Structure 1
Amino acid sequence: MAFNDDEKPPASNVGSTKGLVTISTPTYSKDAAALTADAVTAVVELNATSSTAVREGLDLVAVLDVSGSMQGDKLQSMKRAMQFVIMKLTPVDRLSVISFASSANRHCPLRSVTQQAQTDLKSIVDGLVANGGTNIKAGLDTALAVIAGRATTKARTPNIFLMSDGQQSDGDARQVDPGNVAVYTFGFGKDADHALLSDVAKKSPGGTFNSVPDGGNVSAPFSQLLGGLLTIVAQDVQLTLTPKAEDPSAPDLDTMTVAPGTDYTQTTDGNTGVITIKFGTLFSGETRKVAINLKLLESTLTTAYDGLVAEAQHSYTVQGSPQGQTPQDIVIPRSPDAPADPPTSGKAQAVLAEMARRQHAGAIGEA
């Protein structure tokens, strides 16, 4: 299927694109590493400016479950949620509505959310009726076709909202490849398949799963998420970590890996050891942290020095234009007198606290 009938949106806000995303000086789990073989965790942090001078227009495709299992309260909750979403969008944003049961149905192309469009879109949602099987895959495939077929893409941020109970009976939503499109999933009802909906979201860059229980405040998860999406300042944000040495014949770094508990899409080049982490979009004032486990080789030196182990380089896109930034060296102090006791500096203790948080989150996820 192919669509190329999206409405042309008004121009987005235009402002300076310099320094919208910055990288902080890395922090480490130890005040100093030993000269013998050692291990250190580094935390690299990206920060988006709090300025909204550059506002990316949102291209949102709502994928709505109208299968038989959504009858009753779940369908009504989903309709209320969509009414809330529609009223939060502005003319610079565009919305397409897709429903699915055994198959998918596109109710409208991407429309600029003017006052008249809000009325039309709310009418579409009000008229939805639940019946039939559940083919989430068909709904997602149609949504991705809408996004892929857009005539206007510059300075636009595509996203998918999937609202469902996750009880699929046809197809397998986990097989859908979202590419670079963030998929946010919302599970309706206490019997929603959280595992499936979470897997679908995690397969996309920056996607998240939110539970919408029966009788709950349906607007809460949407309010928080839209508050970010409507202040997007950068797209295609990624961090590249490249092994580096002051003296290539006597490197400090043995291996570099991303610490467990990092949900962002990541790849590692088996030949060079270069790690690429993709964050997707960043909202105004938002922060992204990555913990890196570094195994250090025994040093050839006998006195204290600063060991260069890697280079951190981030990039992003604003208003459709790529933005490259100055690399940040990852340098670890090494000393023959490195203490064996836990570190005392506030920065090192903060890294240890971040590691503990990730381990706790991982344990909850496995439970």
Structure 2
Amino acid sequence: MEGAWRKVRRALGLRLCVRTPAAGGELRAPSPAGGCRGDAAVTVAAAGESGPATQAGALRRSKSGGRSSSSSKGKCAICFATMRSGRGQALFTAECSHMFHFHCISSNVKHGNYVCPVCRAKWKEIPCRSLSSNSPHGRIGINPNRSPQQDSHMVLHRQDPNRRRDVRRLHTSEPADFNDDEPLQHKEGFDNLNFGSTKTPEISSYPEFQTVPQSSSLDGFDILIHAKAPTASSGHITGSLVNETSVRSSSRAPVDLVTVLDVSGSMAGTKLALLKRAMGFVVQHLRPSDRLSVIAFSSTARRLFPLRRMSHHGRQQALQAINSLGAGGGTNIADALKKSMKVIEDRSYKNSVCSIILLSDGQDTYSISSNVQGTSTGHRSLVPFSILNDERHMVPLYAFGFGADHDSDTLHSIAEASGGTFSFIEDEGVMQDAFAQCIGGLLSVTVQEMRLSMECVDPGVQLCSIKCGSYPCKVARDGRNGSVDIGHLYADEERDILLSLTIPKSREQTSLLRVACAYKDPVTNETIEIQGDEVKIKRTISTVSEPVSIEVDRERNRIQAANAIESARAAAERGALAEAVTILEDCRRVLSQSFASQSGDRLCMALDAELREMQERMANRQLYEASGRAYMLSGLSSHSWQRATARGDSTDSTTLVYSYQTPSMVQMLQHSQNHCP
């Protein structure tokens, strides 16, 4: 036994004083002069040896005469796992008295962080692991049959400022192909689940008027098609962190999620700390069937780890990698996007739902100098790579612009081209809430590849146009049919499509449209088709007009507001802020006179509040540059896809953007607000 401890002592390379422990006790360094000299402590648990209360045979070098300090609640502040003696793990106690797993904190230091993750105290002594370590999963096993040289991968180094740059470069080189993703969870684990939703999307139709005079032939008769996704399964979002068995509480589809994080120099300090906290929230709410990969970028981009299932061990490794991040360098969004798409394209296995989350707080400083097609602005924007536009690889990217200096044009363009949304995080304190709202949707996808199709029934009826925001649509040349590709929907999410028709004169009831829907269940991969009811109108002799459908009028108002925002933004980019404010003011006046508004419609009130907020953010050029542009772009993104985005203070629910929130988004957002660390 004593031979083993001597080997441990030599492996640690520490000047320790050793005494033989009492039976069942722990081995401590005696304090001949009031305690051992030094600031940091390393505890190594002998593999396979433990006692009911104390660790049988351990080495300690601790502050204040061997006194050992542990972190809050006995958990490692990096991976959040419990720190227990006797599990073959090394524990590191810093001079500030906070304790961590040795493999967690050594990885943190390897990437250049020389401050305590808990109290931010600067360390004089830092843990370091040599690159030749063969210990699996970072666990330090003590084997008495191994030589001191074989066990010499765990040491303490006195910090040398001149070595900081070298230490930051010590990371594993990336493979040429990213086909090293972890296999999906075995399906046997789900055999007892009733996969697939028993409900189907709801398709409703609302003609502009229920009756039309027989003598009238109308051009531009509007019909609203309303689609709503099935409700989420019960227990979809729990009030506690996920565990290995929580997957049985609901039957949602597993997710492949790639997060792309800006760690440039401008993210140093509080920003990076809040980003790590937000990512910790995301990691803890993924299930063992979900997979996560993280890409960090500054002057270049690097993959921290491949797509990995978020089992207990997977979450520990993910949190360790995230907490090891340090800030520095420029902002290379292009390289980050290439790497994120490579992760998705090269994967050997595929979960049915896949998304990218991108966060940046600065202007791209590398090779992006082209303008977005179809815009009148002269601002530099990123034209997304062809792989983002290739339908075979269409993966929605959800972009988050952080603070006043981010490139909102670029981020909005990337998100728009991929089918994702752009969110504006104005207050750094609500970053976690913004992420929570986003994943509340991503973790509740109930419909994929949804397509609405409509066919004219009466020979004289023709389909003129489809207003559906950014969703791809087409109308046949003869105007007899058309379609809209909705794609994926979150649980309870709704979409409104406004159709414009030509209606002939008729003395009898007129059948206008027949609507159908086809989609894929993301859990069963089954394609399901739904036939909707025919849309009909009555023909009367009377010419007395009836009130317009409030559903149709509400959607007209929303489209009109979105168009006004786009026009005002174009004017603002030309420098005509006064003209932009006038455009929004005119739209507010028109909306106030609409039938829906005069009926007290809440959506109209939210639209008015949204437009008024945008006017205030265009009071001067400085304010517009700092927040007005990003606020308007996040609003356009939300209207374009009819999906909730974070904008400004994400706790403010008075603006229109939050009318798109789903119950799953709201529940996850509340969970974030109620469980802030």
TM-score, normalised via structure 1 length: 0.85
1:354 corresponding residue in structure 2:
555
Counterpart mapping for 1:290-309 below 5 A: 290-294=497-501, 296-299=502-505, 301=506, 303-309=507-513
User: How far did residue 94 of structure 1 move?
Assistant: 0.7
User: How far did residue 69 of structure 1 move?
Assistant: 3.5
* Structure 1 residue 216 corresponds to structure 2 residue 429: yes
Which structure has the larger Rg over C-alpha atoms? 2
Whether the 8 Å contact between 1:31 and 1:343 is mirrored in structure 2 is: no
Sort the Cα spacing of 1:182 and 1:59 in 2 relative to 1 into closer, same or farther, 3 A: same
Separation in structure 1 between the aligned mates of residue 267 and residue 383 of structure 2, nearest angstrom? 20
Counterpart mapping for 1:51-66 below 5 A: 51-52=232-233, 53-66=250-263
Separation in structure 2 between the aligned mates of residue 65 and residue 109 of structure 1, nearest angstrom? 18
Sort the Cα spacing of 1:175 and 1:148 in 2 relative to 1 into closer, same or farther, 3 A: same
User: How far did residue 32 of structure 1 move?
Assistant: 2.7
Secondary structure, aligned partner of 1:217: helix
User: How far did residue 98 of structure 1 move?
Assistant: 0.6
User: How far did residue 209 of structure 1 move?
Assistant: 1.5
Whether the 8 Å contact between 2:195 and 2:524 is mirrored in structure 1 is: no
Q: Give the counterpart of 1:165 among 356, 361, 375.
A: 361
Whether the 8 Å contact between 1:202 and 1:263 is mirrored in structure 2 is: no
User: How far did residue 144 of structure 1 move?
Assistant: 1.5
User: How far did residue 240 of structure 1 move?
Assistant: 2.8
* Structure 1 residue 5 corresponds to structure 2 residue 180: yes
User: How far did residue 157 of structure 1 move?
Assistant: 0.6
User: How far did residue 349 of structure 1 move?
Assistant: 1.4
User: How far did residue 26 of structure 1 move?
Assistant: 0.7
Q: Which amino acid aligns with 1:227?
A: G
Whether the 8 Å contact between 2:220 and 2:464 is mirrored in structure 1 is: no
Separation in structure 1 between the aligned mates of residue 514 and residue 342 of structure 2, nearest angstrom? 40
Separation in structure 1 between the aligned mates of residue 471 and residue 442 of structure 2, nearest angstrom? 19
Separation in structure 2 between the aligned mates of residue 199 and residue 20 of structure 1, nearest angstrom? 35
Counterpart mapping for 1:113-262 below 5 A: 113-154=310-351, 156-172=352-368, 173-176=382-385, 177-178=387-388, 179-205=393-419, 207-241=420-454, 243-246=455-458, 250-253=459-462, 255-259=463-467, 262=468
Q: Which amino acid aligns with 1:74?
A: K
Whether the 8 Å contact between 1:98 and 1:139 is mirrored in structure 2 is: yes
User: How far did residue 356 of structure 1 move?
Assistant: 0.8
Q: Compare the two structures and name the one with the higher strand fraction.
A: 1
User: How far did residue 229 of structure 1 move?
Assistant: 1.7
Whether the 8 Å contact between 2:400 and 2:425 is mirrored in structure 1 is: yes
| Range with bigger deviation, 280-289 or 308-317 | 308-317
User: How far did residue 93 of structure 1 move?
Assistant: 1.0
Whether the 8 Å contact between 1:180 and 1:280 is mirrored in structure 2 is: no
1:313 corresponding residue in structure 2:
517
Sort the Cα spacing of 1:50 and 1:76 in 2 relative to 1 into closer, same or farther, 3 A: same
Q: Report which structure shows greater RCO (CA 8 Å, sep ≥6).
A: 1
Whether the 8 Å contact between 1:183 and 1:201 is mirrored in structure 2 is: yes
User: How far did residue 74 of structure 1 move?
Assistant: 3.1
2:283 corresponding residue in structure 1:
86
| Range with bigger deviation, 113-122 or 329-338 | 329-338
Whether the 8 Å contact between 2:384 and 2:413 is mirrored in structure 1 is: no
Q: Compare the two structures and name the one with the higher helix fraction.
A: 2
Measured against aligned partners, the alpha-carbon deviations of 1:201-233 in whole angstroms (never above 9, x if no partner) come to 12223x112222243322111122222222222
Sort the Cα spacing of 1:68 and 1:320 in 2 relative to 1 into closer, same or farther, 3 A: farther
Sort the Cα spacing of 1:268 and 1:187 in 2 relative to 1 into closer, same or farther, 3 A: same
Whether the 8 Å contact between 1:267 and 1:275 is mirrored in structure 2 is: yes
2:202 corresponding residue in structure 1:
23
Secondary structure, aligned partner of 2:293: strand
User: How far did residue 184 of structure 1 move?
Assistant: 0.7
Please, which runs of 5 or more residues in structure 2 have no aligned partner?
Answer: 1-175, 234-249, 369-381, 569-677
Q: Give the counterpart of 1:41 among 207, 210, 222.
A: 222
* Structure 1 residue 283 corresponds to structure 2 residue 487: no
1:268 corresponding residue in structure 2:
474
Whether the 8 Å contact between 1:74 and 1:189 is mirrored in structure 2 is: no
Whether the 8 Å contact between 2:211 and 2:540 is mirrored in structure 1 is: no
Sort the Cα spacing of 1:214 and 1:151 in 2 relative to 1 into closer, same or farther, 3 A: same
Secondary structure, aligned partner of 2:201: strand
Sort the Cα spacing of 1:338 and 1:79 in 2 relative to 1 into closer, same or farther, 3 A: farther
Q: Which amino acid aligns with 1:192?
A: H
Identical counterparts, % of pairs = 29
Whether the 8 Å contact between 1:160 and 1:183 is mirrored in structure 2 is: yes
Whether the 8 Å contact between 1:189 and 1:213 is mirrored in structure 2 is: yes
Separation in structure 2 between the aligned mates of residue 20 and residue 225 of structure 1, nearest angstrom? 24
TM-score, normalised via structure 2 length: 0.48
Whether the 8 Å contact between 1:251 and 1:309 is mirrored in structure 2 is: no
Separation in structure 2 between the aligned mates of residue 8 and residue 17 of structure 1, nearest angstrom? 22
Q: CA RMSD in A?
A: 2.6
| Range with bigger deviation, 283-292 or 110-119 | 283-292
Separation in structure 1 between the aligned mates of residue 268 and residue 567 of structure 2, nearest angstrom? 32
Whether the 8 Å contact between 1:136 and 1:171 is mirrored in structure 2 is: no
Q: Which amino acid aligns with 1:31?
A: Q
Whether the 8 Å contact between 1:264 and 1:278 is mirrored in structure 2 is: no
Whether the 8 Å contact between 2:445 and 2:488 is mirrored in structure 1 is: yes
Separation in structure 2 between the aligned mates of residue 285 and residue 19 of structure 1, nearest angstrom? 14
Secondary structure, aligned partner of 1:210: strand
